[in-house]
Chain A
Amino acid sequence: MDWNKLLELTIYGVALASIYAIAASGLVVTYTTSGIFNFAHGAIGMLMAFAYWQVRVEWGWPTWLSLLVILGFVAPLTGAAIERVLIRNLRAAPLAVTLVVTAALMVGLMGLATVLWAPNRSRLLPGFYTGKTVTIANTIVTYQQLITIGLAVLLAIGLRSLFLWTRTGIAMRAVVDSRDLVALNGGRPVMLSTLSWALGAMLAGLAGILLASGPTGIGLAIEALTLVVINAYAAALFGRLRSIAFTFVGALVIGLVQQYSVGYNLTDNAFFNTQVVPVVPYLMLFVALLLLPEGRLRGAQLVHAIKIRVPSLRTSIFWGGVLVLAGWVISELVTGTNLTAVSKGVAIGIIMLSLVPLTGYAGQISLCQMTFAGVGAFAMSRIASSGTTVGFGSLGIGNGNPLGLLAAFVLAAAVGALIALPAIRLQGLYLALATMAFAVIMSSAFFEGGAIFGAGSTDAGAVQRPHFGFVSLNSNAAYLVFLTFVFGLVAVGVLALRRGPFGRRLLALRDSPAAVATLGGSPTRTKLLVFSLSAGLAGLGGALYGGVDRNVTAGQFSLFGPPGSLSVFVLAVVGGVATVSGPLLGGQLLMMTPVFFTWLGTKLKTDLTPYAQVLFGLAGIGLGRNPGGAVAEISTRFRALVMDRTVHESESETHDPPIEGLLRRDVPLGAPITPSQLQELDALLDLEEVSGIGRAGSR
């Protein structure tokens, strides 16, 4: 036993765990107090690390001032601003909406970081007291490590004091029990919520700075930094998103396991060491989720969903035909990279269609649709190839055999079922987290590293276009027409599903799982089926997507992309995930917006492409609240315009009481009551000696 090595790894592990604990406790505080899970927590931490770099390195401010400005002002204000602008109105919103909004926020913040700090140069964040070390039992410990561990300990003490000894802290715990009762106790839940987001952002920022400046080797990389802060989510789940103490324990476990698995080469398998070890926290996140106790069946929620008319079979076939016609016209007009982008947009649209039954109808959230697409592309590349042997080997049955598409559907559906089996009993937030973890695990442990798609641009990443005997899809124009045809076919199928028993069952499940169960339906089985179907459709889309370039890379099927599962989800919702035209729009937005920005950029002679991502984020935040999506919004307004009716009958259902109009004129009373009015009231009623409105009598 090498005790020195053990001690060294332990110190590394504890230091890493400290960072996780800092980030995770921020997440827990935000979630328990405001009731909204912040998917963008990692992105906030990343953004703050960059902001710190800006003032510390670029502007050369002293370290203490930089830390004070970023952690004392910028981060808390950012957090508070996000809460004020985005989160506050989401309290009564269904979970799906809050997840869409914070996921879109994550996309937007990552875009913002790219805009502000273009990844075209290397940025280094100096550590704290670089080079200074102490030696403990023959083991060298850096000041940075000591500071990190010390900060975590201080945070633990600080949070404990806050929650045990201050009125504000006690009120923050009280909010977990009952928000309304806190208000009845004269507390301001809204203020507590803002405060929790400010605190959460500060802790995320601290974690981000420690990670980026530490010896973790991450540095200032937008995606990597965001992902590592997300590692902390696993720690938070150890505390079931509630207990700070268990969160610290979870962080310690994750940090140590990660360092030991790095330090002790458990196997000589290079694949395991380079591809699996980095995602150990995600594996643990996944496991932690599976260990959560099964929640009780949820009852109905009060949601005012927009009613979307379901077109009849004849209508949907008609519009499918129109779509193919339009595809043909476009294929004749557009060439080169634009044609490729449009085609990819349609293929992504097919992948987004897979979210219509899952998210649009059943209300379940998946952040790993591109993973399934990758599985589909993999199946296509293996089945429908001429027989090159790479990685897992090939079952080549000939160039472009359409059976490849079937294989793509079946394999992706099977993988979907496999992941769904343990995860499907999870509800809402936890399912979303599990799919996110799955996306990261698959992308690192499966797609990357060359085993599947090969490294770089070798033949291994080749994906054939399907080949139907006499019809040639070799020209890009023909392939676009084919893609629109498949899109139309899948869309007609999805709509037929919606009109049938299974579609009804899905909507019923979203509205009230408890009622479905009492009618004799198994919620688990229905969810499993729809998850599997959705994965299969995504796999089909992925196979076709690969055919556009006849080549794929691992990055396309990662969480962040491009295109990436996260953007696919956000833009599907932006387009409208309850309609089939929404995915069509969403796919084109995802693919054509960067094209447009590139074009505009060349005109203006600046690089505008990063703005596309910011735009996606903003669109997601704006439209995420409207479950109907952009297409439904546009069509309602259009119909209203054409038929000369008032827009939005649904909006008029609840209207605020006309408080202002009813106010008595002699009393200059707005909504709030000020202390001076209070005194006036006391004087008016001569209450001082009796009880007083408020506290007069207690003195």
Chain B
Amino acid sequence: MAVLEVDDVSVTFGGLAALIGVDVVAEAGAVTGLIGPNGAGKTTLFNVICGLQRAKRGHVVLDGRDVTGARTFNRARRGLARTFQRLEVFGSLTTRENLLVAAEMQRNGRDPHAVAQEILSEVGLTEYADVHVDSIPTGLARLVELGRALATDPKVLLLDEPSSGLDEAETDAFGELLLRLAERGLAVLLVEHDVELVMRVCSQIYVLDFGEIIASGSPDEIRRSAAVQTAYLGSPLSANGSGR
């Protein structure tokens, strides 16, 4: 079931098109990948989805309801949560307090402290529970952001380059965690530069280039797509590889 639908979204920055008619669908119970070169517009799309950036055209539909005009916090209350590429942790609070802030905003009647404790062990941060977040390594701080997003009990989870800063073992464990979350019925939209990770965990992948979706499909289809190769490596025609 599609929990998140981005429908024909366009964004311009001072005349420059950042997103052009983008359609993306995220299904519940699956990890959907969004890849593309630097500056392709991935983070802009996330900002549009969560309401930090106004779209010039198009709609965002969350759980069957059009939220295009809704404010950021109202979208969050409807079950949208995200992490940020540039960390947005609450550095002067401890890991536990970061999770508590998120859990306390929910009105689902669950005890915030219990939620926080549960998530601490789920994302593997128990050790760092009472450490101030601005003194833990970046990779772990990204997990704090993930945990914080989970503490809001979301239906849709947007992850913006969550694995950067993690080493290989941590990345593997992170991939497992993503699959577990999807199994639980969450719709995960993943922006990631670690294409290996994307290929492993995603069932559907969108490729964004120059603000446009140039390809979408299963990991195998994406691997074979000529358009994707061009986007990432440049025009195949000029690939003679010799010096000048």
Contacts and interface: CB of A to CB of B under 8 A. Distances in A.
Interface string B92-117: 11000110111011100000100000
A501 to B, nearest CB: 4
A518 B92 contact: no
A15 B106 CA distance: 59
Contacts of B91: 300, 303, 305, 511
B contacts with A: majority SS = mixed
Nearest to A361: B92
Contacts of B101: 501, 504-505, 508, 516, 519, 521
Interface string A487-518: 00000000000000100110110111011111
B73 to A, nearest CB: 5
21 contacts: A299-B84, A300-B87, A300-B88, A304-B134, A501-B100, A501-B101, A504-B104, A507-B93, A508-B93, A511-B93, A512-B89, A514-B52, A514-B88, A517-B52, A517-B72, A518-B72, A519-B101, A519-B152, A521-B73, A521-B76, A521-B101
Nearest to A308: B92
Nearest to B50: A518
A292 interface: no
Name the residue in A300, A517, A518 with the highest tally of chain B Cβ atoms < 10 Å from its Cβ: A518
Contacts of A665: none
B174 interface: no
B142 interface: no
A516 B100 CA distance: 12
A474 interface: no
A669 B178 CA distance: 53
B22 to A, nearest CB: 20
A281 B92 CA distance: 39
A300 B76 contact: no
Interface residues of B, number: 34
A519 B81 contact: yes
B86 interface: yes
Interface of B: 50-52, 71-73, 76-77, 80-82, 84, 86-93, 97-98, 100-102, 104-106, 112, 132, 134, 148-149, 152
Interface in A508-554: 508, 510-512, 514-523
Contacts of A508: 90, 93, 98, 101
B104 A300 contact: no
A125 to B, nearest CB: 49
Contact of A505 (B89, B92, B104): B104
A297 B100 CA distance: 22
B76 A519 contact: yes
B40 to A, nearest CB: 20
A655 interface: no
A520 B153 CA distance: 11
Contacts of B72: 297, 514, 517-518
Nearest to A653: B135
B93 A519 contact: no
Given A296-B52, A518-B76, A518-B81, A507 B92 contact: yes
B89 A300 contact: yes
Contacts of A299: 84, 86, 88
A307 interface: yes
Contacts of A300: 86-89, 91
A504 B92 contact: no
A340 to B, nearest CB: 38
A252 B76 CA distance: 46
